[in-house]
Structure 1
Amino acid sequence: MLIFLWLTYVVLSIITSIKVVLNKRNPLAAALWLVIIWLAPYLGVFFYFMLGINRVKRKAVGMRKGLHRYNHPTLEKFIVTEGKLDVHEISSYYIPLAKSIHRLAEQSLIDGNDIEPLFTGNTAYNAMLEAIANSKKSIVLMTYIFHADGIGVKFISELRQAHARGVVIRVLLDGVMAHLTRPSVVHALRNAGIPFALFNSPLLARQFIFLNLRSHRKICVVDGRIGFTGGFNIHRDYWSSNPDEAVHQDTHFRVTGPIVAQLSTVFVNEWLYSSGETLRGEPWFLEEDEIPHEGRVLARGIAAGPNEQQERLRGSYLTALNVAQKSVKIMSPYFIPDEVLIAAIGDAINRQVEVDIFIPRNNSKILLAATMGTINEILGHGARLWLCPPPFNHSKLMIVDDQWLLMGSGNWDERSLRLNFEFNVECYNALLVNKINTLFRTHQNSATQFTYAEYLKRPFHHRLFDGCTRIFSPFL
């Protein structure tokens, strides 16, 4: 009997060790798992299969299996190759960045776009509501949070009226948040007769793993011609009928030009997965001869998620940090970068690149502690951390050398980098970046700089709490 148990232990340990060697990319993690597997008979194998396998990645890849991903063709006249950036007054040292993101995003960089930032809830929501009210053919709307009260009442009313006019509408909501929000947006949309679907609803999937695979994307496209994307949810806390009332802040963007087709492409692929319905051609996309040349912004959509072979959002951050020559500005409500990003920030600072990071001072204590547990190394390198006063700002923005902008839904935390489905847009245009720099300057004027010396003066129990929250940051 003992010989049988020993042989079983050896066989299971060998099989599990092979899986560790083949699948674990981090050498330290692989070595630790091998020690646990061999020094804890049976228990080591059990714990590896329970905790060591990345089921999120496997489930994310598997859930799209068999679905044909649509990629709307881009007209050749709008495509900008990396070697022609100088024609658009973009420095040649951005060529590695453009090449890298082209391979990561599997999308072309395109010219002919007009992109306008919308800095307040009233501005962003009014622009979206106006576009919906003037819609003629189609509306697609994808959002993480959709409150059925507050500003949500106006959206549901405009969508219902557009639907009555014969405009075809599709609304895609994150399956978890749709069930958590009260009053129920699911009931409100159903009562209004507006077609909608839920992305990875755990009530439908009946699998806990889907709680991690959230759609954090925010996309709205009207008539295939006008698009909106950025950080704004349809959220009651970001709008007030009283213009003098302080509400949460964010940054959204109104986009026109050929880039709109990339927004629509992301939506129709997520809609196919969530509902099984295929959306192609008219009225969801413009015909080739209808696609306008709206402006001079070079742009490219980056649809990131755990189902992708390469980590698109992390790769975009890393490449941008690596090509920076003068300055990097980052604004994110959840700034908890991993070791690789921390090293890239440190390397940029060592090249005498100025790095400024803006986070809300009135964030939750746990999330702020997780940031503090991570930021100390960056502050030690020489980065500047700015704690912005209320109201809470939800913007996710990155600027490199006042020429390049990355905007969208992705944060600098484990959820955005590894677990959620995100959508960002990279933009090359100094005039657009200058408008975003105005936001950074405004926040810097009212913010408090938090230095490395101040971090070292934090009480021991605060720094201990910072370290604990950093360890558990992937679960925040």
Structure 2
Amino acid sequence: MTLDWLHLGTLLLTIHVLGVVAACHAIMNTRTSQGAIAWAVSLAAMPYLTLVPYLFLGRSKFSGYVDARRHELEMVRMHTPRSPWLDTDATDGPAADALGQAAVLALTRLGGMPFLGGNSVRTLVNGDATFSAILSAIDAARDYVVVQFFIVRDDALGQMLRDSLLARAAAGVRCCLLYDSIGSFDLPHSYIDTLRRGGVEVHPFATNRKFVNRFQLNFRNHRKIVVVDGNRAFVGGHNVGVEYLGAKPRLSPWRDTHIEIRGPVVASIQYVFAEDWHWATQKLPPLALPPPAQPGDDMHCLVVPMGPADKQETGSLFFVEAINAARERIWITSPYLVPDEAVISALKLAVMRGVDVRILIPSRRDHYVVFEASKLYARDLVDAGVKVFRYRPGFLHQKVVLIDRIAAAIGSANLDNRSFRLNFEIMVLTVDRAFADAVETMLDADFAQAYEVDANEYRHSPAWRRIAMHVARLFAPIL
């Protein structure tokens, strides 16, 4: 019995020592002070409950990718064609005239990409339009197709994508498919094996290439990219699954937005894919020269990649700069509303400047904790004068930012900490009056099917629900 108590005491002491060590690690490495405090206190006080979660969720910097990028970037740049970027591009031209030279310079430096003219962009406002356009483009491919999604399912839509890729591979077109190993955890081996046997190159984007990331579940590649022959690209919020076509009754009709892009900026998009593909395979995907601008195509676009390997917190800073650039209005749609303090402050200051600040979020939930936390953030923003709306018909999943009457950004990044710091994301910012008008028309239709949130959403909630909201917000650093 004495020996058993000795063993138990040694075990408890070891757990507490490990908890203190992990708490010190959290203090030294967690990006936000809120996250550091949350982890440190819980690890020191309750190591029995938090040590294992910290092992899987504790890191906020994607180790290995930064080193790989530093050593391999020259190879990628040498073999990956991009459009030329002159220093004057950041401060001259329509983009600077519309957003201001300071905003354009900050955004180009933030994303490491140039504003490029001579593009055309069109919105694809639902799953049917999106995948009809994507599959049609793949079917017309003559040289290569690169495809990247966070989620790929082996359902009716996934099988349509599989068959299209197999058909092009059989015709001699090089096809590459990259999927996230966590988002597509249930993708069966039979689906992958069928593609590989048919000549399609298929790889997961996995965080465990380096041992330090071995147990991490926090880092995910949330990008959605399709590039065909180097002259057509697709970016947005849709993944490959029938729920994105409205086949999940609880969340149907699914509301999402993709864009189709043609022109020189396609080279920037496929460059982002090339980095991810090189991380996953140590090889470069097929890439064409940047396409020339077409007569009549005068839209200026900027690609902003963001992720946990960035030196700066690119996701958060992108939203802050977009909000700060607004002089008349800033409209944002996102399925999740869990912003950080920097974005909250930018939104509040925009209201004080007299900017029309609107945020559109879902009225239905797909993640309980995130949904409860978003209610508290919505209340705080409403109290500050931000107009928050909930979309009624189905689940709203689109990621759109409309700045004044001239600029719009569409891509994969949500208004939450995960997109700000933990996920690999991509946004495409377009400066063009006609396109901004088209996005405004699209969002006007969405707002017409939404109701405005007021303080009563919180006040009229039962006490247990209000407690749940506050508890949920404690998990904001990892949501």
- Report the TM range for the smaller structure's normalisation: 0.7 to 0.9
Task: Name the residue aligned to 1:451.
Answer: 454
User: Aligned pair 1:304/2:306, yes or no?
Assistant: yes
Which one is further off, 290-299 or 177-186?
A: 177-186
1:100 counterpart residue number? 106
Runs of 5+ consecutive residues of structure 2 not aligned to the other structure: 1-20
Q: Which residue matches 1:173?
A: 179
Q: Indicate the larger mover: 64-73 or 292-301.
A: 64-73
Amino acid at match of 2:432: N
Match of 2:153 in 1: 147
d(CA) in 1 for partners of 2:268, 2:174: 19
Deviation of the 1:125 alpha carbon: 0.7
Say whether residues 1:260 and 2:261 are aligned partners.
no
Matched, 1:219 2:225: yes
In 2: Cα distance, 1:330 partner to 1:113 partner: 23
Q: Is the 8 A contact 1:301 1:425 kept in 2?
A: yes
Aligned counterpart, 1:56: 61
1: distance between equivalents of 2:304 and 2:102? 16
Secondary structure in 2 aligned to 1:178? coil
Contact 2:389/2:453, CA 8 A, preserved across alignment: yes
Which shifted more, 302-311 or 72-81?
A: 72-81
Number of matched pairs:
449
Identity %: 26
Distance 1:30 1:223, change over 3 A: closer
Q: In structure 1, the residue corresponding to 2:272 is in which secondary structure? A: helix
Is the 8 Å Cα contact of residues 83 and 267 (structure 2) preserved in structure 1?
Answer: no
Change (3 A) 1:465 1:144: same
Q: Take 1:159 and 1:110, find their aligned partners in 2: how far apart are those partners? A: 30
C-alpha contact (below 8 Å) 2:405/2:433 kept by paired residues: yes
In structure 2, which of residues 463, 471, 474 is the aligned counterpart of residue 471 of structure 1? 474
Q: In structure 2, do the counterparts of structure 1 residues 299 and 435 end up closer, same or farther at CA, with 3 Å as the change threshold? A: same
| Contact 1:226–1:256, Cα closer than 8 Å, also in 2 | yes
How many Å apart are 1:247 and its aligned residue? 4.0
Q: Any idea what the Cα deviations from partners look like across 1:393-426, whole Å, max 9, x if unmatched? A: 2100111112221110111112111111111111
> What are the equivalent positions in structure 2 for 1:275-354 lying under 5 Å apart?
275-279=281-285, 284-286=287-289, 291-293=292-294, 295-354=297-356
Q: Structure 2: how far apart are the matches of 1:178 and 1:20? A: 29
Q: 2: CA distance between counterparts of 1:75 and 1:142?
A: 22
* 1:181 CA displacement: 3.4
- Aligned mates of 2:139, 2:117 — CA distance in 1: 28
**Greater displacement, 389-398 / 137-146:** 389-398
Q: Does structure 2 retain, via aligned residues, the 8 Å contact 1:146–1:185?
A: no
1:39-75 CA distance string (max 9 Å, x none): 99x99xx99x979984634455345463235344544
Counterpart secondary structure, 1:386: strand
User: Is 1:362 aligned to residue 360 of structure 2?
Assistant: no
Contact 1:163–1:169 (8 Å) recurs in 2? yes
Matched-pair contact (CA < 8 Å) for 1:90–1:428: no
Greater mean alpha carbon deviation, residues 200-209 or residues 315-324:
200-209
2:403 is aligned with 1:395: no
Query: Deviation string for 1:110-155 (max 9, x for gaps)?
Result: 1001011101111111111111111111111111111222112211
For the residue of structure 2 that corresponds to 1:249, the secondary structure is: coil
Q: TM-score, normalised by structure 2?
A: 0.83
> For the residues of structure 1 that align with 2:179 and 2:26, how far apart are their CA atoms?
37
Question: Contact 1:171 / 1:196 at 8 angstroms: preserved in 2?
Answer: yes
Structure 1 unmatched ranges of 5 or more: 1-14
Question: What root-mean-square deviation, in Å, do the aligned CA atoms of Structure 1 and Structure 2 show?
Answer: 3.6
Q: Give the secondary structure class of the aligned counterpart of 2:121.
A: strand
Alpha-carbon distance in structure 1 between the residues aligned to 2:220 and 2:453: 33
2:407 is the alignment partner of 1:404 = yes
